[in-house]
């Protein structure tokens, strides 16, 4: 069975429906045709977005950029040491 994909807007609307309907998470999940754990995951996604003001894609990009930045800083330090070493050797 192929995995279904849902837009972020659909996920946000489903979470909004859960919060505004007064129904249980299981009931809302059943009504929209997903498992309760799926809806719970969407709820966590929405909370994270509200907390940070960033979407999950933006949070993932930020994490990747921070990782790349750390790697580049390390490379710069290595190059500084190599430059100092070769400058010392050429004297």
Q: Check whether 55 has a pLDDT greater than 90.
A: no
Residues 9-34 have a mean pLDDT of 95
What is the share, in percent, of the chain residues with pLDDT greater than 90? Answer: 73
pLDDT for residue 37: 97
pLDDT value at residue 90: 78
Provide the angle, in degrees to the nearest 10, between the axes of the packed helices 25-32 and 8-21.
140
Cα of 59 vs its chain's centroid, Å: 4
Instruction: Cite the DSSP H helix spans in the chain.
Output: 8-21, 25-32, 36-52, 56-89
């Amino acid at each position: 069975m192929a995995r279904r994909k849902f837009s972020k807007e659909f996920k946000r609307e489903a979470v909004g429906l859960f919060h505004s309907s007064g129904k249980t998470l299981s009931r809302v999940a059943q009504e929209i045709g997903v498992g309760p754990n799926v809806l719970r995951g969407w709820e966590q996604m929405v909370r994270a977005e509200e907390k940070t003001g960033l979407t999950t894609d933006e949070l993932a990009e930020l994490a990747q950029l921070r990782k790349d930045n750390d790697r580049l800083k390390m490379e710069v330090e290595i190059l500084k040491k190599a430059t100092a070493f070769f400058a010392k050797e050429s004297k």
